[in-house]
Structure 1
Amino acid sequence: MKKRIVLALGGNALGKGLPEQMKAVKNTAKTIVELIAAGHELVITHGNGPQVGMINQAFEAASRIDADSPALPMSVCVALSQGYIGYDLQNAIREALLNAGIDKAVVSLITQVKVDEQDAAFQHPDKPIGSFVSPEEAQKRIAKGEVLREDAGRGWRRVVASPRPTEIVEAASIRALLEAGQVVITVGGGGIPVVSKGNHLQGASAVIDKDWASAILARDINADMLIILTAVEKVAINFNRPDERWLDSMTPQEARRHIADGQFAPGSMLPKVEAALFFAAAGKGCQALITQLEKAREGIAGETGTLIQQ
């Protein structure tokens, strides 16, 4: 059965540096084209962890050398990462499509994602970004309004908030591109974080979890399935314990119970399960799958992965 799918790529699909990324996206593109060839309608989202960090550090270094080259706001760093990751992805997918005899346009969309200015995450920023600096440099930057914290004796480092996404600003454009038969790469790095100021969208000093943003997107474009790709084939409970169990499926109720029991690591599997749960509970027929990239096709067929549905 053909599906409209939001495919959320994990870090292993992109590599860590530019040369590694260019190689990784070629393998990623092959799997994506297999899904398209099977008749599925795809929207592709991706993370940007290493990439946005490198962009931030590069402009930090430039600002120390040249006073006229200021460090960039986090929203601009995310926008830059969307551009250069999207460039590699869309070219790799386009090439793989043509090699498979499929004539289909691929487009990367610079995507803004609204967050709530009153989100409690802004009061407790905890996502480290950028390079370590001395206490003296940290105090100078704090005086300019940045938030820095000491990191386990290794030095001071900038931290930003990670608020929950509330709305995909370009959702209507994404739907229009899908209706035109195009493959869309969007919500890169969780989206450019913005807050509403009347009709103005103001960039926020934040990063958005790409799986949560992908779940919001999947809901808003009436997707049939959200696939969150990760390093493991299935989700486990009692992980690394003698009674470890890999799950083929969960209902939303079971997922909530496992979350309440602390089964999933906060910095690892927990946000993936929470995002999958959000979409699976969004409406009748909504399915969320967590699996590896190379197992995506089998997962859609119900042969592997962890499926969350009502």
Structure 2
Amino acid sequence: MSKIVVALGGNALQANPNDKSAETQLKTCIETAKPIVDLIEEGHEVVIAHGNGPQVGQLVAAYETAAAVNEKNPIMPFPECGAMSQGYIGYQLQQAIKEEMKKRGLSKEIATVITQVVVDENDPAFKNPTKPVGSFFTEEQAKKLMDEKGYVMKEDANRGWRRVVPSPLPKTVIEEPVIKTLVNAGHVVITVGGGGIPVVDKGNGNLEGVPAVIDKDFASEKIAELLNADKLVILTAVEQVSINFGKPNQKNILKMTVDEAERYIEEGHFAPGSMLPKVKAALSFVQSKIGRIAVITSLEKAKESIMGLTGTTITV
């Protein structure tokens, strides 16, 4: 059996983008748990990673709203909001996966590790923040926040002004030894939630959280490398990677080599905000060590994709 890092897409946590309630998210997690436990039941060692875009946005917006109502209510720093979202999502996934394992007579333990991920403070992303987070503001409010808080604010599709933060690449995972210990003991681990909490190393082991968002696919790839996983499975909304997506000549891909993937990237087949980071993360993992395999597929087809029956498998 294989050691597999599973990266959950946003649809695995919030199936209905118009309903972001905790109750509805838990229901979605219950459904998400089933294909994950399929892999556990097959005997695979499973490590779970996930995004947190909507959840961390909700937390930021809630604190921003509270501060707008009463200036005595402090706005929670972004790294702390990331930590809160890791705990919130991890708690619901733990509940759902544990309950599904119990139904099948599986006795593994499951734990969420609040994870810090080191980024380079000289990463070019810090000079060009692009990830929108939190509430919408008027231009006047945005300028006040820029002056008082030092935020970078940009107009968002004529809907108002919004804070943007950088998206640096992950360098390493601080909690790697703890995660390895849990995995080696046979436990199921949820880690690098939302890409992890971005921190910079200030020297002498001192870490400082920074307002940024690490792409969860790149963070999942990094932890898969560090854990010496056999497979990285990136779950998204579609069953297979396609070229000419949405066009009459669309072609779904069952197997793709590194060379083919790089050619498709150069030809512009993958959208920067959706499939491109997934393919790039898959390539990094496959190229990191001989024999490693990456799979991109939908949540529902995870088990079949591991068997090579569907999904898109990327190899050297």
Q: Does TM-score exceed 0.5, indicating one fold?
A: yes
Paired residue for 2:167, among 162, 167, 173?
162
Structure 2 counterparts to residues 267-306 of structure 1, below 5 A: 267-306=273-312
What stretches of structure 1 move > 3 A for 4+ residues in a row? none
Deviation at 1:55, TM superposition (A): 0.4
Task: Measure, in 2, the Cα distance between the counterparts of 1:269 and 1:177.
Answer: 31
Q: Report the secondary structure of 1:189's partner residue.
A: helix
For residue 39 of structure 2, what is the aligned residue in structure 1?
35
Aligned residue number for residue 5 of structure 2: 6
Q: Hey, what's the Cα distance between the residues in 1 that align with 2:174 and 2:257?
A: 30
User: Identity across aligned pairs (percent)?
Assistant: 54
Q: Give the corresponding residue for 1:52.
A: 56
Q: For 1:197, which of 181, 202, 220 is the aligned residue?
A: 202
**Paired amino acid for 1:158:** R
| Matched ranges for 1:40-189 at <5 A | 40-144=44-148, 145-189=150-194
Q: Secondary structure at the match of 1:239?
A: coil
Spell out, residue by residue over 1:147-182, the C-alpha distance to the aligned partner (whole angstroms, 9 max, x if none): 111223221110000111111111111110011110
Question: For 1:57, what is the secondary structure of its paired residue?
Answer: helix
Secondary structure, aligned partner of 2:249: coil
1: distance between equivalents of 2:159 and 2:248? 36
Q: Which residue among 217, 221, 224 is the counterpart of 1:218?
A: 224
AA aligned opposite 1:64: A
The answer to whether the 8 A contact 1:30-1:93 is kept is: yes
Deviation at 1:209, TM superposition (A): 0.5
Scaled by the length of structure 1, the TM-score of the pair is 0.98
| Distance in 1 of aligned mates of 2:146 and 2:6 | 38
Instruction: Report the Cα offset of residue 257 of structure 1.
Output: 1.0
Q: Deviations over 1:38-94 (max 9, x none)?
A: 000000001111111100000111112233321122211110000010000001111
8 A contact 1:168–1:217 mirrored in 2: yes
Structure 2 Cα separation of the partners of residues 167 and 73 of structure 1: 22
* Aligned-partner residue type, residue 110 of structure 2: V
Query: CA–CA distance in 1 between the matches of 2:10 and 2:60?
Result: 18
Distance (whole Å) between structure 2 residues aligned to residue 289 and residue 155 of structure 1: 38
Structure 2: give runs of 5+ residues left out of the alignment. Answer: none
Aligned pairs, number: 309
Alignment deviations for residues 88-123 of structure 1 (CA, whole Å, 9 cap, x no partner): 000111111111111110001100111110111110
What secondary structure is seen at the aligned counterpart in 2 of 1:174?
helix
Query: In 2, distance between residues paired with 1:68 and 1:253?
Result: 56
TM-score, normalised on structure 2? Answer: 0.96
**Which amino acid in the other structure matches residue 259 of structure 2?**
Q
CA deviation vs aligned residue, 1:170-203 (integer Å, no higher than 9, x gap):
1111110011110000110010011111121111
Q: CA deviation at 1:241?
A: 1.9
Given candidates 238, 262, 267, the residue that maps to 1:232 is 238
Q: Contact 1:163 / 1:208 at 8 angstroms: preserved in 2?
A: yes
Q: Distance between the aligned counterparts of 2:138 and 2:237, measured in 1? A: 35
| SS in structure 1 of the partner of residue 114 of structure 2 | coil
Q: Residues of 2 paired with 1:124 and 1:210: CA distance? A: 19
In structure 1, what residue type is equivalent to 2:44? H
**Aligned AA for 1:94?**
K
Could you list the per-position Cα deviations for residues 255-294 of structure 1 after superposition, in whole angstroms to 9, with x for gaps in the alignment? Answer: 1111111110111110110011110111111100000111
Give the letter aligned to residue 3 of structure 2.
Answer: R
Work out whether residues 14 and 20 of structure 1, in 8 Å CA contact, stay in contact via their aligned partners in 2: no
Q: Kindly state the Cα deviation for residue 5 of structure 1 after the two structures are TM-superposed.
A: 0.2
SS of the counterpart of 2:40?
Answer: helix
CA distance in 1, matches of 2:189, 2:34: 16
Q: Is the 8 A contact 1:276 1:289 kept in 2?
A: yes
Partner amino acid, structure 2, of 1:53:
G
